[in-house]
Every structure is written in structure tokens, then in C-alpha cells.
Structure 1
Amino acid sequence: MLNVWRALHSLAAPFAGRYPPTPLAPPTVKETHTPRVAMANYIHVPPGSPEVPKLDIVVSERDPSGGGGGAGARRGALELLSRLRPEWKPDYITLKKCKKRKISEENRTFNDAWRDSFAFTSDESGLPVCLICGERLANNKRSNVARHFQCKHTAFAGKYPEGEERKKAVSELMQKADLRMKSANSTTYASFVATQEIVRHGKPFTDGEFMKESFIKISEHLFADFKNKREIVQKIREMPLSMKTVKERTIKMAENITKHQIKDINSAAAYSIACDESKDNSDIEQIALFCRYVNSAGPQEEMVELIPLKGQTQGEDICEAVLDCLKAKGINTTHLVSVATDGAPSMSGAHRGFVALLQKSLDRKLLTFHCILHQEALCLRKLFPPECTIERS
């Protein structure tokens, strides 16, 4: 319901000191029918207040001149202000849009008392999950939990009244849920292992379903002599390996690797970076950013990111892209001690090269190196020009 008085209060607040207030009772607002906003047609007036004439202000939620979405209420508030304060200029009045409330900003948490009262528990993300049917609710609200229990599980509520009987029944449901969780965890772990092998061998995500189907048919013969053959095959059937699941598992593993990689880089006493510029098959310049550091397992060299450069490829663009990448990933640049490049002018220019601009941005000198592989390529090109041919015996 649109509240005209709340909008009126937000509009009149900036003028409280500019114009002296006069004792006026709030006017009555005419109640209208749909599609107009329904509201009370009376306002409490304290005893002793002077009488004021009633004002008919019609507020329409679907105001064609305002475009809808509450524009009618704002227009009605402006019209009401013009009646109450005719000396106010419309240019001085600004409309303030109220920010919509978000459930994520309310910091709601699961209440343990809901477990015995409504047979609910919380999952790993903190959201309530029904122990009876397994349905997960969208947010932690007692009204939602109670409504679900009272509407969908009336038989359970009647069979186990609130008290010791319900607590005992909920305890049994919790034990069954723990067994289901352990079973789900084993199949989830198996799907991660299968996804890792698919990615390792460079196979498409759709091969997960092919792998699962093949595994089921092989198991029918491989475990023919096992007494629990049916349970084994059922476990394989429950393993999620759809294309969407394989994709999600791949993203999660990549995020986990990146997280540990950044943690190792930031914990190292010093690290160095190497940058190389190249074009991909779509003719877009890419900056390959590598990082070398030492951790408890010894020297490490990891690829941090492949940064696309869709604009120019000057030293300023490369420096900005590299610094933005390090900042976005949360890599601390205070431990950066050296830079290796391919020796191109955009990289090693004395004034506008990538290395010079990087040192200027970090406000300190860095050790700079010309990549030995690029030096060997230049040397080979100098010693053996294209017109020379090498005969092999």
C-alpha cells in the first residue's frame, strides 16, 4: 500500500527551517476504488487543534502521466503540498526514492528452536530445510517455516503433538537425514572425481553422462557375484554427472584452485611476475600473466590470468590491465620484486613502457629481466635468416 503521508514527510523535511510551521491538522484523503490505492479515510486529530477545510486529493496507483510504479502517489503528494504550502516553489522540491528492502541485508539466521517445533534443520548455506519432505525454503523467517509445517504436514503435527513426542520423532528424522547426507556426500565426491578426470583429459562436459551410463552397464557384469550388487548399481545411478553438474563442478574446482593459489602468493616473502603479449584466433590481444614464488613445497610457477586487451596495446593499457587483475584477485603488490617481459617496446620502453609505468605506479624500483626464451628466438632469427636453410644428415 502506498503511503502518501510518508512521501509527504520526506518531501517536506528539507523545508522545515526555511518556512515557519503553522499548526495544521492533516487533511483527510478520499478513499478510492481499484486501481486506486485504498487507504483510511480518517486521521486522528488531537483535541484543541484548529479546524481546517477538508481537501480531496485523489491518488491513483496507475497514473498514466507518471508512468506507474508509484508515480501517482508522488504526484498526489506534490499536489497536497501545493495546497498546504502554496508559497513553496516546485523547483525547491525534490523527490526521494525509497530503497527497496532486501532479504539478504536483514542478516536472518536459523533458529534452533524451529527444529523441535516445526521439524526443520539448516543446510550448509544456513537456509531452513524440512526434515519430513526435504524442501528448502528461500529465507529464514519463522512465519514461512510455520506455514510450511502447518499446511503440508498436518498429519505429522496431529500424530506427534508438541512436546516430548515430537522431539523424539524429530530426533529420528535427524538420524535419517544424517544417513542421507553421508550418502549424498559420497556420490558428490565421486562426481567431483569424475569431473576432474573429464577436465584433465580435455573431454566435453557431456561425456559425464556417457561415463555414467558405461559405468552402470559394466557394473552389471563386474559385480554380478556381489551380494550388494543392487546397492552398488544404485549408488552409481545416484551419482550426478549431467552436463550442467560437470560444468558447475569444474567452476567450483577452478575457484578453489585460484583461492589457494592467491593465498600462497600473498603468504610468500617475495614473488615475481612474467608478462607476454599474443593474439588469439579471434584476433584479440591477450596478456598471459604468470607468477613465480616459493612456498613450503618449493618453487612454484603458476598462470594467474589470461587478460584480454580489446583496445590498444600500449604500455599504459598493459600496466592498467595487469594492476586491475592483481587488485581484482586480491594479490598484494608489496611483495612484488621483479618483472620479466618479452623485451618489446610496449613492455620495456624507458618512459612509456609497461615496466617503467609499473615501477612508477608502485613507487619503487623492480628487478627487470628480458625473457631468455625470447632472447634465444631473436638470436636464432639473427643467425639463421629465413633465406637460409639447414640440411639434416
Structure 2
Amino acid sequence: MSYAVSLLIARTKKPHNIGETLIKPCLVECAHLLVGKSAESRMKKVSLSNNTIKSRIEYMTSNIKDQLITNVKASQWFGIQLDESVDIANLSQLMVFVRYVYNQGIEEDFLFCRPLERTTNAVDVMLLIENFVDAEELDWSRLSSICADGAPSMLGARSGFAELVKRQNPTVIATHCIIHPEALASRTMPQLLKQTLDCAIKIVNYIKTRP
């Protein structure tokens, strides 16, 4: 039961102590009213403390990661897509997504997220990727493609991230993220079309920021 409750808390992004301060008292009361004292006493034995919820979420996260790494290793080829953005603490975060073959189909999953604590150049990005690949014992020769934005630090011909990856696997294909050329195209579009696009963006943002 503690795993099921921990999963719900993680999905709703609630504080871990809500299990002990709210959820468990509600379960105990419901068990007492619906079933009886025997069920109430059993429900009280279920641990939903802050530490328990934390450890359960960490275990489930680790298990999901292990399953993903196993599936990627079993795939003949896999590709990665990189996205670098700044969080609310003004710290650059590198997010990496993976695409691989699984059960005769193509799967896409979130691979990992790591902070870029010093700079966001190609060397720092490559260092994070290398550390992850080496730690998880992934095979560079199975990396078929990488996708990133068109910044020189990512796709530069001499010192970009793509060029550093090709030193590990010369057959890697580097492509631009589809959003990047669209963003460039929006800068030169006619004014009337630009106003329509801006209006659509405002509507989407308005809907997304409200329940």
C-alpha cells in the first residue's frame, strides 16, 4: 500500500509528509467507518512517514531507470535529443531524451537531466553525456543520431557537441531540432501572419497556465 500511495504523491507533486499528516488519517478513519476496528488497526500499521514515502519514490525511480537502460541496451540502435533550459533558480539544466527500438516499434523516453553548473559549452555537455554513458555502460557504437538546436556549441563543425560525439562514433548523424528552424522562420514572416501567430501563442499559454 505504501508504494501505491507514494506513486500518487509523486504524480500529484505533493510534499512527502502529506502521507502521514493527511492521507493516513483519512485511510484510518475510512477503514473504521466502513469495515470496523480490525481494519482500522491494520491500517495504522501501514507506514506513510516522510522517510518512507521518500525511499519508496526513490526506489520506483531507480527501477524505472533500470528498465529503461535495459531496453536501450537491448536495442540495436538508439538516438538522443538534447535540450538545455534555465530553471527558476537560474541554473542551466541539460535534459536528454532517447529514442530506441522496443518490441518491433519505436519508443521515446526521458533519459536523464543534469545541471550545467559552470558553463553551457560543448565540452561541458559532452562531459555530462560521457559520464552517463560510461556509468550506465551504454555502447557508443549503437548511437545512431543526435538532435539539438542549431547553436554553434551544439552543432559547430569544429568544436561543437556533435563533432565531439563523432570522435566517439564517426557514423553518428547530427540533425537540428524541428523547433529551431520554425523559430528562425517566425522572425521573417509577414507582419499579418506574425500577429496571428502571436495571438495563437497567447491563447495556448493562457489555457496551459490555468486548470
TM-score w.r.t. the length of structure 2 is 0.86
Give the match for residue 233 of structure 1.
40
Q: Does the residue aligned with 1:383 lie in a helix, a strand or coil?
A: coil
Residue from 254, 258, 271 that aligns with 2:65: 258
Are the counterparts in 2 of residues 262 and 330 from structure 1 also a CA contact under 8 Å? no
Q: Hey, what's the Cα distance between the residues in 2 that align with 1:356 and 1:349?
A: 7
Shift of 1:384: 5.8
Q: Hey, what's the Cα distance between the residues in 1 that align with 2:54 and 2:161?
A: 36
Are the counterparts in 1 of residues 29 and 40 from structure 2 also a CA contact under 8 Å? no
Give the match for residue 373 of structure 1.
179
- Asked if 1:332 corresponds to 2:143, the answer is no
* Residue range with higher mean Cα deviation, 329-338 or 346-355: 329-338
C-alpha RMSD of the superposition: 1.8
Q: Hey, what's the Cα distance between the residues in 2 that align with 1:342 and 1:326?
A: 21
Are the counterparts in 1 of residues 32 and 39 from structure 2 also a CA contact under 8 Å? no
Give the match for residue 211 of structure 1.
23
Q: 1:243 to 1:297 in 2, by over 3 A?
A: farther
Q: Does the residue aligned with 2:118 lie in a helix, a strand or coil?
A: coil
Give the match for residue 185 of structure 1.
none
Matched AA of 2:160: G
Shift of 1:230: 2.8
Give the match for residue 280 of structure 1.
87
1:15-94 paired onto structure 2 within 5 Å: none
Shift of 1:363: 4.1
Matched AA of 1:304: L
Shift of 1:322: 1.1
- From the two aligned structures, give the one with the greater helix fraction: 2
Are the counterparts in 1 of residues 140 and 169 from structure 2 also a CA contact under 8 Å? no
Q: Does the residue aligned with 2:114 lie in a helix, a strand or coil?
A: strand
Residue from 175, 194, 205 that aligns with 2:5: 194
Give the match for residue 209 of structure 2.
none
Q: Hey, what's the Cα distance between the residues in 2 that align with 1:200 and 1:363?
A: 38
Unaligned runs of 5+ in 2: 200-211
Q: How many equivalent residue pairs?
A: 195
1:100-249 paired onto structure 2 within 5 Å: 190-209=1-20, 210-223=22-35, 229-249=36-56
Q: Hey, what's the Cα distance between the residues in 1 that align with 2:91 and 2:11?
A: 26
Matched AA of 1:260: Q
Q: Hey, what's the Cα distance between the residues in 2 that align with 1:317 and 1:241?
A: 40
Unaligned runs of 5+ in 1: 1-189, 224-228
Residue from 269, 289, 297 that aligns with 2:96: 289
Q: 1:363 to 1:192 in 2, by over 3 A?
A: closer
Give the match for residue 323 of structure 1.
130
Q: 1:254 to 1:384 in 2, by over 3 A?
A: farther
Q: 1:317 to 1:371 in 2, by over 3 A?
A: same
Q: Hey, what's the Cα distance between the residues in 1 that align with 2:136 and 2:188?
A: 40
